[in-house]
Structure 1
């Protein structure tokens, strides 16, 4: 099916200055009319998108909040009485007095958070006087050594590059594992000192701390772990500074040589593997030890466990397949028939690990580089709930792994802006309820009047924990309309609705920040005024929201038929908003705001998110995790690839997803997000093979065309 070229012709910044996109930019007032819209009332937001998009630099003072239980932040939509020094909250209509330090406020002297263009502002949060500086970010590397020597050399090379890119003050640690888990004590530079844990036995956090001498009582020969006086709480947790930090986690500037020596000495796992068996790999115990170490040394401080996995777990907790090669790794068919004996137990283990990491405020990143599955389907909970990154490749020598791994640690304009320890909160007008969130976060179970009865994703709360987030992180928030009796009475109807998103997080530079985004949209009467509904429909956002919604339902509902559900939804949407004459199919037409939506649904129902045939459970988990966390623009490319044409006669332009777009004098660039394909037409390929690009007379036009994609 061909795609309209305009699908790829997106504006420079389709998400706008607030990084917020609505499925419907005008909302019906009643629950019945909302259900007739078919596409859910939802918002996609990137909580900490690049600060360059902000209209104001970070404000060096704390935000002003409305009185409880509202607690919304002061924003441009508030009504201000400059004479009485009072502001009225647009969400709850409470009257609030400005504090004394706002005494100079006037119509000609307005704080930045009241500027019309500052619907998104960021505040710098200073700690109490005398509080210690926040600890630097922590990177704990967990390396799988059950790989061939060539693969391990690729890992060593990437590790050296990564350490060189880290800030000198960043803390690093190293765990290696195969049949057993080895925790390296970087603080003991005289010789290589390692703590060994059995890979076949599940070990509790307390046992880990006892063995490392990090428990309250300490081990014989080790000092007792103590908390420094005067240390304040950060996000409800104590940033303990203990002797254990300097034993296992050291600044890059102090341990770079030691780490380099350890990498030089690192060998593939020496445990013999019998013929017909898989390598004995204890991934679960390794991650358990890493989480326990961080929990003892740096709870509440931004830290990432970066796991480099080269195969499936075959030993101890988290095992996904037996050692016997005659037993295949579970498939989708096995999961459907409940014929995967290890699956539920492994999921339960990683669910517990996820809860531990979330309580500590730490992130799990996974780089899976193997031809076989490594267990991403089981780890999905731990990765997604901590906001971790995931990369799937065939080898540690593949450019997908090497480039992605390097990208995490790059600074400057290529930086991902990795942030830590975030909390995401929502406040909204009284006639709106929050159903839940789909994305890399965990519910904080903050229940209240704004929680809807219907739950979608992480619901029954208005606050979520985001242990890890970056500039590209996106969340999808689902809403419900629940008008009160008074709001439906004449004279009490507010024409506008308001939603405020507040994200507090630890910036990559270390300081805590609060970012508040307040948006407003119009209420409309959906029963009589469908024109405003149609004009406010965002078909790209709607397609992505439905993709995320059905991916969730496919995971939690065994009998859910995604294809039929999509077909019925499209039929209902077209019958509601399409123009047609009964019994005359040729008369059917859709508004331009809906014209691409059927094509999106056509491609979605055939995509890897819905059709899991020929994909492994790990691949499906990988695809869905990225779909749930990427921006709308990137997610649309996952559903419907963009095709760009390059030629001598015209500038780069989108073309139809059709064989008719192929021409002998064209270069085509297909961007499907997970893969990029460059196609040279016959004439272009012949010129390239004849090396025209090396001839001086063709340097300007021909070379420019060749390198443009």
Structure 2
């Protein structure tokens, strides 16, 4: 995939089809939709940042780019999207073929504009919302992690603090020496107006008669705002005092009941508080939740312990009484957050479910981060929280208030985006009637966006079959422009523009050209996002059947075979790994929900929906590296045959990283051979996979779970569950000293046989 990785390194884009099918009918036959996975803020070492405003087409508003036709004598440029002729303004008077502005250079298909005049008024805001219905030990771990995170905050950032349990406590950090708290009842729905009234925002003057949006511009004094949101450099003492005195929720919990936890009310208060104080500025609510919500409009279960928390089976049967009401509440909350331009980040740490499945809509539409761990003392939580705020080494580079816009040549429409954004419902000629994900618009809001955020755009080819569609080679170009307007973490407003050109192909000879432009890794990532979306949005959807039928149709169209002869079937190298990706996708946590809770499934899908192609592929088909005395580290097939007694395996399954010792290696390690001088080679062999695992943990967010296990040990399941079961309990193919998998699942060989047999049938 090297050439497609080069395209990604230049523009941050990967497409399943780099040559486009020329008609609606041909695009339908291609099975994998015409789509693109785009990382809007991917860091480029040599990106040009221009200190002036972009030049826009007066008809379609697209931006001057290297694909425009320029008349240097008449000082006119022709837009490649709508063919409108535009005059250059006076400050472009000196342009010529030898004196080009940066945006017309062929290599600058991605460029950034920085408008010096536009500086935002507010620094970034972090509002911590902390659950206190947790045991003392957990609370201690949480307090330690929080104090470390607060120390890492930029000095100019504003900080607020809310705790919740049976009641919601809003801490007034700017009050001075005496700590002061505003308390709200957890079972009540509280509006923004009530918050303004109860928290004395208009104590010394009458409340404005018209509906208050709030913020400084609506008459709210900066003094009243600074009571709740204080610069990090000034509130260290006050915050540490609050943290030190933070106690477990004092209200008694009967032995047969769950704690009264009003998560939804606390998040609603936090949202309204930010809406009152800093509307339209870059702000994040950092929610740290340690158990299920049992009080308020977003509760997911009753307080009675005899009632279990909803499972996938309950959701399928529609027998989860709290689910729909909670999702509806969080949909309303997500609209409020998107209107304000604020982000909801979720850190869920509990052995039980906390309601990630319900919260998903609010976190995803605002572009928030999500981390799921078993407890607040776990390294997954501690390292991930630290990584969010640390400014050196790994940096997420938060940007805020993004607006994402798409322009394309005619004959193509946008069905929608699968990823962390919200539709602004700006309808136009570009919008397809078929909606996938966030659709019915050509403009999206991205409240929170970082350098890793990736969006999946799904297109529809609307060109009908006509004699001209094959046409002369002059009109076979297709253009796409992706614009991201965002607030850089320096406070500056910037606009990044990426303009792409691709070719149409149509007619009898087009199959070979389509094959040559097929990116199987990008196709697998797109199919994973689409199947996850369909599982959530379509009732009675059968994901395995849909994936199998899609794969059969794709192989039938692009495979090389004689009719009804499975042995003659072969695939071009461009397609050869795709069936393998689909085999592992069918078995992945995105499709197989058995043994996962709704919270875990929602978490896996949220991460998939925001990651780039390379990381998505690791989630679908984990990488496996073998270490042994006979050879250096080498990649091996994701198959049970890779297990040997005298080798070590390193599995990177994205969410978990497994170091697996063969039986002999484990026995030697337990005997302590690695500590003896004469066994230095064994010591190095043990160290190598650990070092590689640590390197993976260092560069990834959320931080994966590290599992170190031995063959036949209980935790070996983390590896065996991901392997192709080529040797099972009822097969005779297990190699000497190897392993078998206790499963009735088909192995890849059988899967491929069936695929070949079905693909060659007419």
TM-score (norm 2): 0.86
Match in the other structure for 2:697: none
Please say if 1:594 is aligned against 2:575. yes
State the Cα distance separating 1:268 from its structure 2 match.
0.3
Alignment of 1:369-448 (within 5 A): 369-448=349-428
Match in the other structure for 1:630: 611
Measure, in 2, the Cα distance between the counterparts of 1:402 and 1:701. Answer: 29
Contact 2:414–2:458 under 8 Å retained in 1 = yes
Alignment of 1:24-173 (within 5 A): 24-52=17-45, 55-68=46-59, 70-127=60-117, 133-173=120-160
Q: What's the RMSD between the two structures over aligned residues?
A: 2.5
**Distance verdict in 2 for CA 1:197–1:568, change over 3 Å:** same
Measure, in 2, the Cα distance between the counterparts of 1:660 and 1:95. Answer: 64
State the Cα distance separating 1:583 from its structure 2 match.
2.5
State the Cα distance separating 1:640 from its structure 2 match.
0.9
Contact 1:239–1:299 under 8 Å retained in 2 = no
Measure, in 2, the Cα distance between the counterparts of 1:225 and 1:692. Answer: 75
State the Cα distance separating 1:662 from its structure 2 match.
2.9
**Distance verdict in 2 for CA 1:516–1:301, change over 3 Å:** same
SS at match of 2:590: coil
Q: Deviations over 1:672-699 (max 9, x none)?
A: 1111101234555456453536749938
State the Cα distance separating 1:73 from its structure 2 match.
0.9
State the Cα distance separating 1:705 from its structure 2 match.
3.3
Higher relative contact order (CA 8 A, sep 6+): 1
Measure, in 2, the Cα distance between the counterparts of 1:468 and 1:51. Answer: 20
Measure, in 2, the Cα distance between the counterparts of 1:337 and 1:512. Answer: 48
Q: Deviations over 1:190-230 (max 9, x none)?
A: 2110000000111122111211123xxx13x5787899xxx
Contact 1:240–1:298 under 8 Å retained in 2 = no
**Distance verdict in 2 for CA 1:385–1:592, change over 3 Å:** same
**Distance verdict in 2 for CA 1:592–1:492, change over 3 Å:** closer
Contact 2:659–2:690 under 8 Å retained in 1 = no
Measure, in 2, the Cα distance between the counterparts of 1:513 and 1:395. Answer: 39
SS at match of 1:414: coil
- Find 2:289's aligned residue among 298, 309, 315: 309
Measure, in 1, the Cα distance between the counterparts of 2:560 and 2:87. Answer: 52
Measure, in 1, the Cα distance between the counterparts of 2:218 and 2:18. Answer: 43
Please say if 1:257 is aligned against 2:237. yes
Q: Deviations over 1:249-290 (max 9, x none)?
A: 011111011100100000000001112000000001100110
Measure, in 1, the Cα distance between the counterparts of 2:176 and 2:494. Answer: 37
Corresponding pairs, count: 686
Contact 1:641–1:673 under 8 Å retained in 2 = yes
SS at match of 1:124: strand
**Distance verdict in 2 for CA 1:12–1:538, change over 3 Å:** closer
Alignment of 1:303-702 (within 5 A): 303-483=283-463, 488=469, 490=471, 494-647=475-628, 650-682=631-663, 684-685=665-666, 688-689=669-670, 690=672, 692=674, 695=677, 698=680
SS at match of 1:248: coil
618-627 or 95-104, which deviates more: 95-104
Contact 2:4–2:14 under 8 Å retained in 1 = no
Match in the other structure for 2:250: 270
Match in the other structure for 2:11: 18
Measure, in 1, the Cα distance between the counterparts of 2:190 and 2:432. Answer: 40
141-150 or 613-622, which deviates more: 613-622
Match in the other structure for 2:200: 213
Measure, in 2, the Cα distance between the counterparts of 1:541 and 1:112. Answer: 30
Please say if 1:200 is aligned against 2:190. no
State the Cα distance separating 1:437 from its structure 2 match.
0.7
Measure, in 1, the Cα distance between the counterparts of 2:467 and 2:571. Answer: 36
Q: Deviations over 1:626-660 (max 9, x none)?
A: 11111111111111111122345545332111232
Q: Deviations over 1:490-522 (max 9, x none)?
A: 469612101000001111121111101111111
State the Cα distance separating 1:488 from its structure 2 match.
3.3
TM-score (norm 1): 0.92
**Distance verdict in 2 for CA 1:523–1:11, change over 3 Å:** closer
**Distance verdict in 2 for CA 1:180–1:701, change over 3 Å:** closer
State the Cα distance separating 1:358 from its structure 2 match.
0.3
**Distance verdict in 2 for CA 1:568–1:48, change over 3 Å:** same
**Distance verdict in 2 for CA 1:528–1:10, change over 3 Å:** closer
Q: Deviations over 1:15-74 (max 9, x none)?
A: 33211011101111110011010111110001111243xx33321111111113x11111
Measure, in 1, the Cα distance between the counterparts of 2:285 and 2:369. Answer: 10
Measure, in 2, the Cα distance between the counterparts of 1:585 and 1:12. Answer: 33
Measure, in 2, the Cα distance between the counterparts of 1:486 and 1:262. Answer: 74
Which consecutive aligned stretches of 4+ in structure 1 deviate over 4 angstroms post-superposition?
9-14, 221-227, 237-241, 484-487, 489-493, 647-651, 682-689, 699-704
State the Cα distance separating 1:555 from its structure 2 match.
1.0
Contact 1:239–1:300 under 8 Å retained in 2 = no
State the Cα distance separating 1:10 from its structure 2 match.
10
- Find 2:274's aligned residue among 294, 312, 316: 294
Match in the other structure for 2:178: 191
**Distance verdict in 2 for CA 1:694–1:90, change over 3 Å:** farther
107-116 or 640-649, which deviates more: 640-649
**Distance verdict in 2 for CA 1:544–1:238, change over 3 Å:** farther
Measure, in 2, the Cα distance between the counterparts of 1:85 and 1:436. Answer: 37
Contact 1:45–1:476 under 8 Å retained in 2 = yes
Contact 2:79–2:85 under 8 Å retained in 1 = yes
Segments of structure 1 that go 5 or more residues without pairing to the other structure are: 1-6
Measure, in 1, the Cα distance between the counterparts of 2:488 and 2:580. Answer: 40
Measure, in 2, the Cα distance between the counterparts of 1:506 and 1:260. Answer: 30
Measure, in 2, the Cα distance between the counterparts of 1:239 and 1:656. Answer: 65
State the Cα distance separating 1:83 from its structure 2 match.
2.1
506-515 or 135-144, which deviates more: 506-515
State the Cα distance separating 1:88 from its structure 2 match.
1.5
**Distance verdict in 2 for CA 1:315–1:370, change over 3 Å:** same
State the Cα distance separating 1:703 from its structure 2 match.
7.4
170-179 or 412-421, which deviates more: 412-421
SS at match of 1:392: strand
Contact 1:56–1:112 under 8 Å retained in 2 = no
**Distance verdict in 2 for CA 1:554–1:333, change over 3 Å:** same
SS at match of 1:594: coil
Contact 2:470–2:507 under 8 Å retained in 1 = no
329-338 or 254-263, which deviates more: 329-338
Segments of structure 2 that go 5 or more residues without pairing to the other structure are: 693-762
